Structure 1
């Protein structure tokens, strides 16, 4: 997983509390009482931004399913619905108790808008009429989190007391459980259903995070009555986790914390894929776009950072390494990019004039490098062959069905002592120590490392042990804890 910072937005003059994507827009809100709306095409603000209507801090914002409306809620006790064509207020919905409103969400059908308040009350608003529909009350604490299941049959709320509660549209409490000992802070559903291994039934995944420094993944089954099961607890943050979000494909969970970091987890096995440490104060919000590989992160440092996930122009080596299993399908351009990323620009002309593609690359030998490509330097030929051997090892490891996150990006061997470097990637400790002894760049991005600190990745180590327990052919690789 590659994450490249592509833009920093610094228009708010106080803490950023929430971020939300539509297909073409990004909305952010702040303690400064405003909501700002940006085009994703160039990150310039739309003509009607900032939106001003709240009289106190704005805590949350969200787009409607049709993306024609934006809802925002505030300490002023109101949830405002904005027209995204012109920025005009369509409705100002005053919470019955006038309590500060902390969270708001549209239902998938756009029939309802839910708002949760500091006094523990939750209200369903009829969107078409823009009027009060029903309300409920959690047994303890402030309401600070909410998410609808993708089918809209239930919605989950989270409270400062640590409970998660499931409701139907009749405001009947279907389920209640203590989820985070010190309080829930956020929750989010994956839009992609999964199959429960025990029952064989389709269910939904939900992520929650809290003041206990943890992120939890839940299975929510709606087949025969509502059932909620904790699937796994994700560890990695060293302070309360304030925000979490699923990727649109359900493969990743992103979380932001008081420890100023953002962690990207694999939702499949709970491994840490990447750690972002750009912000200088608490990370309060994170959101993933549904139709683009974009991540927005909001912070108490008053900024919003936009990250591109996946490949980037500055990480050709990382992209090619991740697609190593398909080297035989590389084009001639891919091979030239690989040579450039590996610091072998001086032989690009020989490779290009001989039409070396991925299949030809894998067939190269020292003799063909000398006799056919006319590369006379012995040291250069040896260096090229070492790089080709790395690619062959990558192919072999991937064809053995070893999850890529368990392989060291330097050696392409199963890690036994994984550590996290300052670039946010995990490596085998000995391999990265050897690497940084001669250079101070990231093996994955080629960019300078911020520092040489290596942090043990205990979450990955535990996941490795669990995976190795299921693989009799890898018993000898057992990680010692």
Structure 2
């Protein structure tokens, strides 16, 4: 994970999500991630532990696709969007929902983005519309969009504000990228690239840039402008031309887009056009996320892919600086911290990882004395001394009794708290770290054991052990009762029944279902059972 001037190292792994991680984003103090497990989790950057005061946020009823911070009140507000058709605005201090926004179609919403001043919010999704909301001035309970942009012909999966919030740029599964003007009554696209990625756009990121140009123009001097040299002679008539220099600033936005064609493409956007610059082609699968570093001098662009790797590029030269395997499954999201020293990534392996970005090998590596305790031994092998080291590392130095690692696995939370006699301040820290340890232990056991588990435990098996076709497209969990719907896709019985009661449309295509009848997919159920029999796991 090194190049001559760039070093990337894993700093910490964040546990907690039980399904695909779809998006992650930084504020100055928090890292927030959202998942197909219907939750949003917040992590404190100073301790690298979950913020137990608000996390997890649980109000969405289906998978959460995207999160976006508002800069108002020091990034206190967070927007999230979901397959359930809602956009929720959260207060990050209390964890409460302060606004609930829906598109008129009530279709799944895939992406949300606050303007840089926090006054506007843009949302888009399966209804192929971009809605613009006046967050600052619309105080009504049932908000109406300030403006709706039409023109895409497929699900919109990514959008960004550009040029000081005067414009929007968006991309869809159709493969097109469109440019929109915000502060006019004009609702159609100003410019579009019909086949920016011919197999579909998956992601976008933007970076403001400007170039100062010096323009030289010839100016003829009048007779009154003639000057006298030191010897008393005037400038000759054939030298009446003088050069005048003028400075002009060219403003543009750098656009990076990723697609199902496995490519990252770079564009230069002006207020009226989108100019193709170059293609970066080193990923072996679809590019699922891109992110520019906020450090101007670094020229770094990160891209994550279905090939499980992250590439960091120099976007000026197009050079690949480093490529590394970041996760055990698709890299679905990546984001730089405000100071550019950290890179967060999320994946279908249900993990969020933090990476340190070191521009010079001699630069001091980012470290945190409160980083979570890692030990080579599994928890069930921990001695009293190992448990004490772990407690000290997470900041719990005052405790009454010690025990073995097996007790951390077998005893209840309440028993452990009573044994340690923890005060209220230490309880949440202890429980957060305990849950992380238990989750890690559980995953490691699933990798190494062929022990039998019952049907309820199957629901918690990590997705990387299962073929994708065994997972319900709605819940992203193992299907125990797969049912065929009229759209030709299979879903978990209870999930599709609840969906049909509310939506009447296909969760995959968003088209109306021809009928609401459901039929058991016996072949798929047999394949699932056979899969677990081969692995000595059965229900």
Instruction: Mark yes or no: TM-score above 0.5.
Output: yes
Contact preservation (8 Å) 2:27, 2:69: yes
* Structure 2 equivalent of residue 151 of structure 1: 164
Rounded to whole Å, the distance in 2 between the matches of 1:257 and 1:196 is 37
* Structure 2 equivalent of residue 201 of structure 1: 250
Contact preservation (8 Å) 1:196, 1:202: no
Residue 302, structure 1, aligned to residue 350, structure 2 = yes
Give TM-score scaled by structure 2 length: 0.56
Structure 2 residue runs without a partner (length 5+): 1-5, 216-247, 365-539
**Higher mean displacement: 122-131 or 232-241:** 122-131
Contact preservation (8 Å) 1:14, 1:30: yes
Contact preservation (8 Å) 2:210, 2:249: no
Residue 287, structure 1, aligned to residue 287, structure 2 = no
* Structure 1 equivalent of residue 58 of structure 2: 52
Contact preservation (8 Å) 1:255, 1:264: yes
Q: What pairs with 1:175-324 in structure 2 (closer than 5 Å)?
A: 175-177=191-193, 178-194=195-211, 201-222=250-271, 226-250=272-296, 251-310=299-358, 316=362, 319=363
Encode CA deviations 1:214-256: one digit per residue, 9 max, x unaligned.
111111112xxx1210111111101100100111135111111
* Structure 1 equivalent of residue 117 of structure 2: 109
* Structure 1 equivalent of residue 147 of structure 2: 134
Q: How far 1:311 moved relative to its partner?
A: 5.8
Give TM-score scaled by structure 1 length: 0.63
Encode CA deviations 1:101-131: one digit per residue, 9 max, x unaligned.
0000001122210001112111111111263
Structure 1 residue runs without a partner (length 5+): 321-481
Q: How far 1:191 moved relative to its partner?
A: 3.9
Rounded to whole Å, the distance in 2 between the matches of 1:285 and 1:133 is 29
Residue 77, structure 1, aligned to residue 90, structure 2 = no
Rounded to whole Å, the distance in 1 between the matches of 2:127 and 2:214 is 39
CA-based RMSD of the aligned residues comes to: 2.0
Rounded to whole Å, the distance in 1 between the matches of 2:173 and 2:306 is 16
Q: How far 1:292 moved relative to its partner?
A: 4.3
Rounded to whole Å, the distance in 2 between the matches of 1:258 and 1:239 is 5
Contact preservation (8 Å) 2:178, 2:190: yes
Q: How far 1:289 moved relative to its partner?
A: 1.1
Distance change >3 Å, CA 215–CA 39, structure 1 → 2? same
Higher relative contact order (CA 8 A, sep 6+): 2
Rounded to whole Å, the distance in 2 between the matches of 1:168 and 1:220 is 13
Distance change >3 Å, CA 196–CA 91, structure 1 → 2? farther
Count of residues paired in the alignment:
313
Larger radius of gyration, structure 1 or 2?
2
Q: How far 1:201 moved relative to its partner?
A: 1.8
Rounded to whole Å, the distance in 2 between the matches of 1:192 and 1:9 is 34
* Structure 1 equivalent of residue 179 of structure 2: 166
Contact preservation (8 Å) 1:217, 1:233: yes
Encode CA deviations 1:119-168: one digit per residue, 9 max, x unaligned.
21111111112632111223311100111115111110100000001111
Distance change >3 Å, CA 29–CA 195, structure 1 → 2? farther
Q: Specify the SS of the correspondent of 1:201.
A: strand
Which stretches of structure 1, 4 residues or longer, exceed 4 Å deviation after superposition? 194-200
Q: Specify the SS of the correspondent of 2:284.
A: coil
Distance change >3 Å, CA 149–CA 285, structure 1 → 2? same
